[in-house]
């Protein structure tokens, strides 16, 4: 097989809230992609925060290993931009082009793309036509094309006739009120615009005669920007859409239920292309799943938070049945600047969210408690499970040299961070000396 082109098409803050995952969010183009490719029902990001998640996918390393402990536009960065996947691909003949969001470097030129298409904004209205123009312009092959959309990040688009708030249901952690229905309607409007943008790019790929020899990787960075979701280690925060279509068996509308992680994408590409994986990769190829050789490639997935707007160190391990989350900041109250402002946040705040206590350790039985609301840490009947999950997490942290084992993780000089006691990420920040 000739090495295929790679189209990495990605969104902001979408989680799994798209049509092919069963949600009442109309995304017909994403649905079509799922029906023609392979959909991973239980795909997870290694960090429910923007830059760390993207960095993990593109380097094949967990955030604390690749160095991306916080947000790129707030002063965090990769330890080595030579580990970005474009450099591995360049060695085997790929050219690389960026259209839209990258969010792993404060200055795009640091990354090393061969071409960066200038844009008025990273919104779909500007990203999609530019990406389509690139695909229709007879690009050299093989290419790696990253197409990143600002949608569905807040602030959301205004709801249209198709997003009537009266008939919207907020996501599972959020109460059903007029305000939260309006909030969800606005998210749906953003998802509609995102779907149009993705459809425009995918249609251009088809019209240019490139679809049959292009691997399409469609995903997002983490959960949607609602309280208890983005920047949280429950499945609401770390669950992501992942749909892959193209050569190598990624076709036929298959659905895979095995757990996979964003760190698995880089090694998967290496196996598909027949190239040696770099020695720094921490994921594992999902090709055996796609070929139907195994039912699962991993027994557990891991995720972390270090910095978003504010410092909030957390780690988690998830198995098929159990989720264990541990906090390392000693706080007993929420870190509110790590939740984007919006109507749903206002509802939680009106009901006393600021004063709600947070457990330092959390254990959830995902079979009976998929919303992760009933903490079983104090339940003696699952003491053995708790000890096992603690051991799994500690083993992973030691194997990956997690700096959190040595104490609080400092932000780099020049980073801009909020006080954890702030209310909003828009409050004045502290610049680390």
Category of 365 on φ-ψ map: left (φ > 0), alpha (ψ -120 to 50) or beta: beta
For CA atoms 71, 74, 76, 82, the dihedral sign is: positive
Q: What is the mean pLDDT of residues 79-92?
A: 98
Residue 304's φ and ψ, nearest 5 degrees, are -150, 160
Predicted confidence band of residue 2 (pLDDT cuts 50, 70, 90) = confident
pLDDT (mean) for 69-98: 98
Round to whole Å and give the CA distance between 50 and 211.
29
DSSP strands (E only) in 331-393: 361-365
Q: Per-residue pLDDT for 1 more than 70?
A: no
User: Per-residue pLDDT tens for 161-187?
Assistant: 999 999 999 998 999 999 999 999 999
Question: Which two three-digit tokens encode residue 288?
Answer: 């055996």
Report the mean per-residue pLDDT for the chain: 97
Neighbouring C-beta atoms of residue 290, cutoff 10 Å: 20
Q: How far is 146 from 131, CA to CA, in rounded Å? A: 9
User: What's the pLDDT at 427?
Assistant: 97
**Which tens digit of pLDDT belongs to each residue from 116-127?**
999 999 999 999
Q: Helix (H, G, I), strand (E, B), or coil: what is residue 213? A: helix
Beta strands in 288-379 (DSSP E): 301-307, 311-318, 322-327, 361-365
Closest to 101 in 3D by CA, of 79, 123, 81: 123
Helices (H), 19-98: 28-36, 50-59, 63-66, 85-90
- Half-sphere exposure at residue 332, Cβ-oriented, CA atoms within 13 angstroms: 2
pLDDT band of 367, cuts 50, 70, 90: very high
Q: Taking 80 as the threshold, does the pLDDT of residue 294 lie above it?
A: yes
- Edge-first strand listing for the sheet containing 311-318: 301-307, 311-318, 322-327, 361-365
pLDDT confidence bin for 348, thresholds 50/70/90: very high
Please, what are the domains in the chain? 5-298 (3.40.720.10), 301-432 (3.30.1120.10)
Decide: 92 and 105 in contact? Cβ < 8 Å: no
Residue % of the chain over a pLDDT of 90: 99
């Amino acid at each position: 097989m000739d090495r295929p082109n790679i189209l990495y098409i990605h969104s902001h803050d979408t989680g799994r809230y798209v049509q092919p995952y069963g949600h009442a969010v109309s995304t017909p183009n994403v649905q079509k992609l799922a029906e023609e490719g392979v959909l991973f029902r239980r795909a997870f990001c290694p960090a429910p925060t923007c830059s760390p998640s993207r960095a993990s996918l593109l380097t094949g390393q967990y955030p604390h290993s690749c160095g991306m402990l916080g947000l790129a536009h707030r002063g965090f960065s990769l330890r080595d931009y030579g580990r970005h996947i474009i450099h591995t691909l360049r060695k085997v003949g790929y050219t690389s082009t960026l259209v839209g969001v990258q969010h792993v470097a404060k200055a795009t030129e640091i990354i090393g793309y061969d071409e960066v298409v200038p844009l008025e904004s990273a919104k779909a209205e500007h990203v999609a036509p530019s990406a389509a123009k690139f695909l229709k312009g007879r690009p050299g092959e093989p290419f790696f094309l990253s197409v990143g959309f600002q949608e569905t990040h807040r602030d959301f688009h205004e709801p249209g006739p198709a997003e009537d708030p009266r008939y919207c249901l907020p996501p599972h952690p959020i109460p059903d009120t007029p305000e939260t229905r309006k909030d969800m309607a606005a998210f749906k409007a953003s998802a509609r615009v995102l779907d149009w943008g993705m459809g425009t790019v995918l249609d251009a790929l088809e019209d240019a005669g490139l679809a049959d020899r292009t691997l399409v990787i469609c995903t997002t960075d983490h959960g949607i920007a609602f309280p208890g979701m983005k920047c949280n280690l429950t499945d609401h925060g770390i669950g992501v859409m992942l749909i892959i279509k193209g050569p190598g068996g990624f076709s036929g509308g298959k659905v895979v239920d095995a757990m996979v992680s964003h760190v698995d994408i880089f090694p998967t590409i290496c196996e598909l292309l027949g190239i040696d994986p770099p020695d720094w990769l921490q994921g594992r190829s999902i090709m055996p799943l796609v070929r139907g050789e195994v039912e699962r490639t991993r027994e557990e997935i891991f995720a972390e938070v270090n910095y978003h707007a504010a410092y909030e160190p957390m780690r988690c391990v998830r198995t098929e049945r159990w989720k264990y989350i541990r906090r390392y900041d000693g706080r007993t109250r929420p870190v509110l600047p790590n939740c984007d402002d919006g109507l749903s946040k206002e509802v939680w705040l009106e009901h006393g969210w600021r004063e709600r206590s947070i457990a330092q350790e959390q254990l959830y039985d995902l079979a009976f408690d998929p919303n992760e609301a009933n903490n079983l840490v104090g339940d003696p009947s699952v003491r053995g499970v708790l000890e096992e999950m603690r051991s799994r997490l500690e083993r992973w942290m030691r194997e990956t040299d997690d700096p959190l084992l040595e104490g609080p993780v400092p932000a780099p000089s020049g980073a801009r961070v909020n006080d954890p006691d702030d209310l909003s990420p828009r409050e004045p920040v502290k610049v680390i000396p």
